[in-house]
């Protein structure tokens, strides 16, 4: 079993920045990819960024980085816009696109 805990969400004004972190614990050997998704009210969950030993994917203005020693993945979000407002979830699994484990989410609110 893997437990994911997100942190770093909050409220910022448009143009501001936030850094989200996700720490993994438990059966870490089962994790070979991690990702960030977000879900805004009334919308479907969407992939924001992903990272594995094979590379990374980022949508838009964000940056994803991983620390294998600390078992964490970080999402740096710059130039935030109101449309970035959503609940952000950390996910982990054996490969990109195969996420078996999910965190509880952290709220990001961007005001105009």
Is the distance from CB of 88 to CB of 35 less than 8 angstroms? no
**pLDDT at residue 110 in the model:** 98
- Give the residues across from 99 on adjacent strands: none
- Per-residue model confidence (pLDDT) at position 81: 97
Give 69: exposed, middle or buried? Use CB within 10 Å, 0-12, 13-18, 19+: exposed
Nearest by Cα to 96 from 62, 61, 64: 64
Gap between the terminal Cα atoms of the chain: 40
What per-residue confidence (pLDDT) applies to 68? 79
CB-based burial label for 88 (10 Å; 0-12, 13-18, 19+): buried
* The pLDDT of residue 67: 84
pLDDT of residue 60: 83
Low-confidence spans in the chain with pLDDT less than 70: none
């Amino acid at each position: 079993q893997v437990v994911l805990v997100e942190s770093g969400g909050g409220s910022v004004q448009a143009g501001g920045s936030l850094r989200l972190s996700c720490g993994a614990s438990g059966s870490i050997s089962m994790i070979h990819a991690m990702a960030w998704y977000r879900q805004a009210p009334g919308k479907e969950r969407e992939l924001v960024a992903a990272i594995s030993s094979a590379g990374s994917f980022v949508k838009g203005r964000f940056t994803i980085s991983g620390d294998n020693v600390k078992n964490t993945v970080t999402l740096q979000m710059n130039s935030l816009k109101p449309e970035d407002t959503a609940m952000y979830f950390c996910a982990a699994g054996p490969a990109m696109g195969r996420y078996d484990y999910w965190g509880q989410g952290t709220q990001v609110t961007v005001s105009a």
